Amino acid sequence: MRLSRYFLPVLKETPSEAQIVSHRLMLRAGMIRQQAAGIYSWLPLGYRVLRRIEAIVHQEQERAGHIPLLMPTLQPADLWRESGRYDDYGQEMLRIQDRHKRDLLYGPTNEEMITDIFRAHVNSYKDLPLTLYHIQWKFRDEIRPRFGVMRGREFLMKDGYNFDVDKDAALHAYNRHMVAYLRTYERMGLTAIPMRAASGPIGGDNTHEFLVLAQTGESEVFYDDRVTALKLGDRAVDFDNRAEVADICGEFTSLYARTDETHDAALFDAIPEAHRKVGRGIEVGQIFYFGTKYSEAMGATVVTADGSRVPVEMGSHGIGVSRLLGAIIEASHDERGIIWPEGVTPYHAGIVNLKQGDAAADGACEGLYAALAAKGLTALYDDRDERAGAKFATMDLIGLPWRITVGPRGLANGVVELTSRRTGESEELSPEAAVERLAEIYANW
C-alpha cells in the first residue's frame, strides 16, 4: 500500500477522552473511531490488525479440530426464555422489537442458539464429539464502557461450544480449548496466563480466564511468577490424545494463578516469597465447562451406545477478539507509539523514502515494494512529499516492526537501512539483502 493513496487519519493531538495508552494510541494511529459510547468503526489500519487476529484464532481452532460456522447477531427472545436467561440477564441485554412486535435481542453470547442448532440436527452419540465456533459481533450494554475496544458495548468475540457424550469427553474438550488458546495468544506475542476464575452468568463451576499482565488491567491477579516463563512454543500436539492434552494443561495450571474472585490467601502465602506476585491483568479469554445446564433446559439429547437418551454435555469458550488489539498494545508500546509483534502487524514492513521525487530513491523504493510482495510480504510505502522526521514519526506511531529507509546518500553506496522498531537498531544492507532478511524473520511467523 502506498501511503499517499491510503486512508490513515493519524491524530497529532493526544485525545483527552482516552485514559489508557492502548486507547490513546489506537485513536492517534487512526485505527478506530468512536461512533457512540462503546461502539466503534474500524478504520483501515485497525481493521487489518483485527483480521490478522481473526485469522490466527481460526487457524488454531481448526488445528484443534473445531468447526467454524456463523450465527446471526440478532436472536429470538423465545430461545432465551427456554433457558431462563431472558429474565436473568438483566440490563446488559439489548432488547429489540421488530415490526410484528416479536421480541429479539442482540446476542451477548450464543449458548441458547447453538443448543437449538444442535438439537435440530444431532441425535446420536455417533456424531460426537462436536465443537462448533464462530467469530461474531456481540452486544453487552455495559454500564461503564471504557478504555476503547477493551470494554466496548459492541465487540467481536470468538465463541465456541463443545458437545460431548459424557463428562470425561467434555473435560477433554475444555482442555483442548486451553491448549489451543495458549498457542493462539503466543502467536500474538502475548503471555496469557490461565487463571482459575468465577463463572458469572454463563454458569458451571469449572472455568479459567486467560489474563495478560498489565497495570491497566481491570482484574486483580495473584500468581506465582514462575508461571510467566512457561511457553507452549511450536511443540506438536495431538489434540485427540486426552492424556497428552491434559498433561499440558497440568503444566500450565499447577502453579498458583487466580483472580480476586477465586483468590485463596492460605494457598497464596505458601508460595516462596520471591515468586509471590500481586498485579493486574486483562482478560482476553475464558473457558467454561457447564455440563447439562443448557441441554437439559432446552431438550438437547443424544442416544448413547446402550440405547438410552441423555442430555448432551457442554462447555463454552470465548476469546475477546477486538479486546486483543488493546491488550497487545498495552503489552507492546513505547513513548513513540505501538510496537506490533510480527504475528499481527498490519504490514510486514514500512518503506520510508527520504527524498520523494529523486529518481534513484523512487526507483529503489518501487523495487523493494515489488521484491517484498514477491516474497509474500506486505509493505506500507510512505511515498508522501513530507519531511523525513514526519515520516519516521508516523511509522513509529503505527508500529510496524521493521522499517526500510531509502535515501540518495545510502543508495550511492548501494545500501538501504533496515531498522527494528522494538530495539531501534539499524543495519545497512543492499536492498536485496534487506528483503532476504525480512523473509527470514517472517519465515517463523
**Contact call for residue 152 and ligand 5CA (CB under 6 A):** yes
Measured from the CB of residue 12, what is the shortest distance to ligand 5CA in angstroms? 28
- From residue 158, how far is each of 79, 315, 320 by CA, in Å? 21, 14, 7
Measured from the CB of residue 262, what is the shortest distance to ligand 5CA in angstroms? 14
Measured from the CB of residue 142, what is the shortest distance to ligand 5CA in angstroms? 5
- From residue 294, how far is each of 101, 297, 332 by CA, in Å? 27, 5, 39
Rank residues 48 and 317 by Cβ distance to ligand 5CA and give the closer one: 317
**Contact call for residue 159 and ligand 5CA (CB under 6 A):** yes
Measured from the CB of residue 257, what is the shortest distance to ligand 5CA in angstroms? 16
**Contact call for residue 23 and ligand 5CA (CB under 6 A):** no
Residue 402 near residue 418, CB atoms below 8 Å: yes
Residue 240 near residue 252, CB atoms below 8 Å: no
Rank residues 181 and 256 by Cβ distance to ligand 5CA and give the closer one: 181
Measured from the CB of residue 97, what is the shortest distance to ligand 5CA in angstroms? 24
Q: Please classify residue 228 by burial: count the beta carbons closer than 10 Å to its beta carbon, then call 0-12 exposed, 13-18 middle and 19+ buried.
A: middle
CA distance 338 to 25: 7
Measured from the CB of residue 318, what is the shortest distance to ligand 5CA in angstroms? 3
Question: b vs e for 246-256, b when ≥16 Cβ sit within 10 Å of the residue's Cβ?
Answer: bebbeebbebb
3-state secondary structure of 147: coil
- The one-letter code for the residue type at 277 is K
* Count of residues touching ligand 5CA (by CB under 6 A): 20
Residue 289 near residue 171, CB atoms below 8 Å: yes
**Footprint of ligand 5CA on 100-119 (CB under 6 A):** 109
How far is C-alpha 311 from the chain's CA centre? 32
End-to-end Cα distance, the chain: 21
**Contact call for residue 155 and ligand 5CA (CB under 6 A):** yes
**Footprint of ligand 5CA on 322-361 (CB under 6 A):** 322-323
C-beta nearest to ligand 5CA: residue = 320
| Window 198-237: contact mask with ligand 5CA (x via CB under 6 A) | ----x-----------------------------------
Rank residues 210 and 392 by Cβ distance to ligand 5CA and give the closer one: 210
CA distance 264 to 272: 15
CA distance 397 to 389: 12
Measured from the CB of residue 220, what is the shortest distance to ligand 5CA in angstroms? 16
Rank residues 175 and 322 by Cβ distance to ligand 5CA and give the closer one: 322
Rank residues 90 and 272 by Cβ distance to ligand 5CA and give the closer one: 90
CA distance 306 to 320: 40
| Window 276-305: contact mask with ligand 5CA (x via CB under 6 A) | -------xxxx-x-----------------
CA distance 98 to 92: 19
Q: Which residues bind ligand 5CA (CB under 6 A)?
A: 109, 140, 142, 151-152, 155, 157, 159, 202, 283-286, 288, 316-318, 320, 322-323
